[in-house]
Structure 1
Amino acid sequence: MAKTIKTNALRILDKNKIKYEAKDSSGLGNSDTPDADTTLIHKTLVARGVSNELYVFIIPLSNELDLKKAASAAREKKIMMLPEKELLPNTGYIKGGCSPIGMKKSYKTFLELGSSFMEQVIVSGGKVKFRVKLKPTDLIQLIGAETADLVK
């Protein structure tokens, strides 16, 4: 394998001896990409509850977060998406490169219920256009995520 980018997320995966496949995703999501891979891609969303607590939601790229379901999972009356300018100071990541692995703080994290049954999921590797493919069970265990019905 050629020169591999080592992000904080990858260092954490290595330290915990979790099997993964690092992918430069500049080609993912294009029309010439096999559908099998694009269905595995998940986005990491950060939201703030009325309690001012931050929550992380991992959902399939093609889906939209249902804020009512997300609030229910987080046991909040209401949640709002975190403004982009607050992403870096709170997570250590920028939009498009926000990984659920290796955030500045450990936030309560939820993975879409249906995704927990998949063989593998693809999440951000901590940089824009850089992703990691791993088993959802490994991801859940590593970051202490819960599963919940989160999408519309």
Structure 2
Amino acid sequence: MVLGVSGSGKSTVGKAVAEELRVPFVEGDDVHPDANIAKMAAGHPLDDRDREPWLRTLAHRVRRSVEAGEGLVLACSALRRAHRDELRAAAGSALWCLHLALDRDTARDRVARRTGHFMPARLVDSQFESLEPLEPDEPGLTVDATAALPENLALVSAAVGQFADRTAD
């Protein structure tokens, strides 16, 4: 799973990782209910009640992937540990997280410059307020979201390989 605040590059990095691993890619933004999209587009942050159906849908997709024995790269904010735990419960030990970390100003600038997306730049601060970085017991890696894509892909490839080796034992 590729996680981070809006503007961190989840979609770009997630698609590249999925391509490198030759597994399907799921864009979490595409799964949001219309009411969530409307709320964010109006400049209001989501609360956990809003996120419930979204997380349930994502967890279902993750569970199907695990049951089918196929890989999957999911791009979604998963800012709070509780959100990641819900997805981890669906995946069992198979969930590995890539946290794309960056500073508020860079995230705000990236979101302000993109077009055709429902997330306004004024909500970036609320995402940082919700963000709970990966904890030591969460399988994953935190990388600099401003680093070059090939550099991050090399780090991810090595880390995912090590994770796969450990979970295969």
- With the length of structure 1 as denominator, give the TM-score of the two structures: 0.28
Structure with a larger share of its residues in strand: 1
* Larger helix percent: 2
Q: Which has the higher contact order (CA 8 A, sep 6+)?
A: 2
